[in-house]
Amino acid sequence: MEREYGFELGLCAALEQETEWLLARQLGGAVADPGQRIVDVVGVVPGPAFADRARITASTIPPAAVEADLGVGRARPPKAAFDCRPERRAAVVADAVDCGFLTREPDDTQPRVRQTTRYPDEWVGELVAIENKPDLDRPGGLREQLRLDASLALFDRVVLATATHVTGAHRNRIPDPVGIWRFDPESGQRRIVRSADRLPVAEPGIEPRAYRDGRTDISVVSPAAKHRRRRRIAERAYGKGWRPDAYPACARCEPTDDGRPWCAAYDRVVDPASECGTDCPHHDPADPPVVDTDRLRDARTPWQRAPDGTVDRQVGLGDFG
């Protein structure tokens, strides 16, 4: 697991340098049972409307707000526009207003909200799922995971990334449409062993749910459900990014220039959540290093940390006083 974490962050850092993609880690990659498939890395390839999306907010736009029955010129009471429980509705509206995608109509007898702009679905060019398996000789559930990805076709492309020399036997165990990359996290070198085929994301998908007694229970997933899930994944990736939320409160942590938590004691990238703390024998208490992850992301990707936003500025009488 430790090796996988450093491998994963190394791959994110390398892809961020080589491409325009937005990268995020550990996102749900199924539809009927979203928790059954957690994708290691998701790459969002910017589409033609990327700038329109970036202008709205640096955060995730709550997908339920995008799916609500609202429009730019169409203010409605939240109760009429959202098909969910009152507490959830209130939380989604609050988040969507906070991030600037919805606005509350002023001076109204009953609360109403409207979108501040059209949601630009075309901001996503492609979604790429990357499964990391540094050591292919310890595959775990790799085969089932990749078979699910290929038959569900939720992502435009699926890639297996490994540090292992890929043999013919390895290739035969990997479904045909899945691409293979060989990646060295030390040097950041990536070699395409096999290109990923484009998957039919606009067609119904088959999601395996359970394997038992030689048969597989499945769900058939509609194109509309896949579209909604893809938007959720893309929005989550936009707001989340791949860098750690917190760095170790330890003097031995010396973050790399691209924001990976490097540990001088172990001479490698460490996972702050699972490896650091007082249980670590080399722990040396100190303030966590200051890493401005937003600044790094803003400088290295098309993501914008402080966009103009799409909320109309209301000019009050006091502004003329």
Spell out the residues 6+ positions from residue 88 whose beta carbon is closer than 8 angstroms to its own: 64
Among 79, 282, 295, 305, binds ligand SF4 (CB under 6 A): 282
Q: Which is nearer to ligand SF4, 167 or 274 (CB)?
A: 274
Q: Which is nearer to ligand SF4, 60 or 266 (CB)?
A: 266
Min separation Cβ 265 and ligand SF4, Å: 4
Q: Which is nearer to ligand SF4, 178 or 250 (CB)?
A: 250
Cβ-based neighbour number of residue 164 at 10 Å:
14
Min separation Cβ 282 and ligand SF4, Å: 4
Residues 228-257 that bind ligand SF4 (CB under 6 A): 248, 250, 252-253
Helix then strand then coil, % of the chain, to nearest 5? 30, 25, 45
Spell out the residues 6+ positions from residue 91 whose beta carbon is closer than 8 angstroms to its own: none
Spell out the residues 6+ positions from residue 310 whose beta carbon is closer than 8 angstroms to its own: 55, 56, 100, 101, 116, 117
How far apart are alpha carbons 83 and 46 in whole angstroms? 30
Two structure tokens written together for 85:
């429980």
Q: Which is nearer to ligand SF4, 134 or 261 (CB)?
A: 261
Min separation Cβ 29 and ligand SF4, Å: 29
Min separation Cβ 160 and ligand SF4, Å: 28
Under rule CB under 6 A, residue 134 binds ligand SF4: no
Q: Which is nearer to ligand SF4, 287 or 319 (CB)?
A: 287
Q: Which is nearer to ligand SF4, 208 or 261 (CB)?
A: 261
Q: In what order do the strands lie in the sheet with 38-46?
A: 22-28, 38-46, 124-132, 157-162, 179-184, 189-194
How far apart are alpha carbons 155 and 102 in whole angstroms? 28
Distance (Å) of CA 204 to CA 136, 273, 285: 31, 38, 53
Count of residues making up the chain:
321
131-141 exposure pattern, b = at least 16 Cβ within 10 A, e = fewer: bbbbebeebee
Spell out the residues 6+ positions from residue 34 whose beta carbon is closer than 8 angstroms to its own: 28, 229
Number of residues that bind ligand SF4 (CB under 6 A): 13
Two structure tokens written together for 269:
């990238």
Two structure tokens written together for 207:
């999601």
Under rule CB under 6 A, residue 154 binds ligand SF4: no
Q: Mask of contacts with ligand SF4, 211-230, x by CB under 6 A? A: --------------------
Under rule CB under 6 A, residue 9 binds ligand SF4: no
Q: Which is nearer to ligand SF4, 98 or 284 (CB)?
A: 284
Under rule CB under 6 A, residue 283 binds ligand SF4: yes
Min separation Cβ 281 and ligand SF4, Å: 7
Q: Which is nearer to ligand SF4, 201 or 253 (CB)?
A: 253
Q: Mask of contacts with ligand SF4, 260-279, x by CB under 6 A? A: ---x-xx---x----xx---
Q: Mask of contacts with ligand SF4, 287-306, x by CB under 6 A? A: --------------------
Q: Which is nearer to ligand SF4, 84 or 265 (CB)?
A: 265
Under rule CB under 6 A, residue 10 binds ligand SF4: no
How far apart are alpha carbons 79 and 90 in whole angstroms? 9
Footprint of ligand SF4 on this chain (CB under 6 A)? 248, 250, 252-253, 263, 265-266, 270, 275-276, 280, 282-283
